[in-house]
Amino acid sequence: MRIFFKGFNFSQDGPGNRLVFHLQGCNMKCPWCSNPEGMSFDGGTEYSVDEVVREAVRSRALFFSGGGVTFTGGEATVQWSELLNVLKKLRDLGIHTAIETNGSSQHLPEIQKYVDYLMMDFKHFDDERFLEFTGTRIDSVKRNFEYLTGIGRQLHIRIPLINHVNADSPEGFAEYFSRFDKGNTVFEFLPYHEYGKDKWKGEYKITDAFVSGEQIETFKKVFAMYSLKVIET
């Protein structure tokens, strides 16, 4: 597995204290990405699946408050075969697992079987806007969302709120989600930030992207109107 960063955090990438592996490579090209060093398919450091498992086992005592191991990116599912392999081994060892994914992988229905806590980004509900900002079509993300809610699995949807990108459309998001959610999904809003800006080597194209407190409150109110459960982490 090619990994460009690893470290611990508490409750930011799944429940409790977690060892987080950032896997190299992403199939999307979001101009606000806060980990641009993880977007390229080249780079990162190669670890075998067994090395990752051994590190998880060594760290076990630190997985307090329901913690465990999280795989994020880049995009965690780009290296889907290794990911599947490591998730199966961690499950056999009784170590709690989480992934954070952009939701586009055709392998997600298989991968999710071995994931205890699933986080999925949802950047826009409109195909044209999604394509414009991520460089990929939304079909596979919607297909996965509809499949995962359909089987009633736990799902934590993360929506980056970005001015001039998606922050003007709370009803569009809520209306779409409410058609499929069966009560096992929680939604989190991630207001735009610039933490990744200095890491961009090329031009940083996002401007005037911060959302106001009022915009965030509007999203909360609209989601509540549609009986969608909003959480903060």
Residues that bind ligand SF4 (CB under 6 A): 26, 28-30, 33, 35, 38-39, 73-75, 102
- Asked if 182 contacts 143 with a C-beta cutoff of 8 angstroms, the reply is no
Pick 18 or 123: Cβ nearer ligand SF4? 123
Least distance from C-beta 140 to ligand SF4, angstroms? 13
Pick 136 or 185: Cβ nearer ligand SF4? 136
Pick 4 or 63: Cβ nearer ligand SF4? 4
Q: What residue has token string 């509540």?
A: 224
Vertex 124 angle, CA 41 and 40, to 5°: 10
Q: How far apart are CA 223 and CA 133, in angstroms?
A: 23
**What phi and psi values does residue 4 have, to the nearest 5 degrees?**
-100, -15
Vertex 198 angle, CA 195 and 204, to 5°: 95
Closest CA to 187 of 131, 233, 136: 233
Least distance from C-beta 107 to ligand SF4, angstroms? 16
Measured from the Cβ of residue 220, the count of other Cβ atoms closer than 10 Å reads 15
Least distance from C-beta 46 to ligand SF4, angstroms? 20
Cα torsion through 42, 47, 49, 50, rounded to 10: 170
Pick 91 or 143: Cβ nearer ligand SF4? 143
Pick 100 or 116: Cβ nearer ligand SF4? 100
Pick 73 or 170: Cβ nearer ligand SF4? 73
Least distance from C-beta 136 to ligand SF4, angstroms? 9
Q: How far apart are CA 101 and CA 116, in angstroms?
A: 14
Least distance from C-beta 64 to ligand SF4, angstroms? 28
Identity of the amino acid at 229: K
Least distance from C-beta 99 to ligand SF4, angstroms? 13
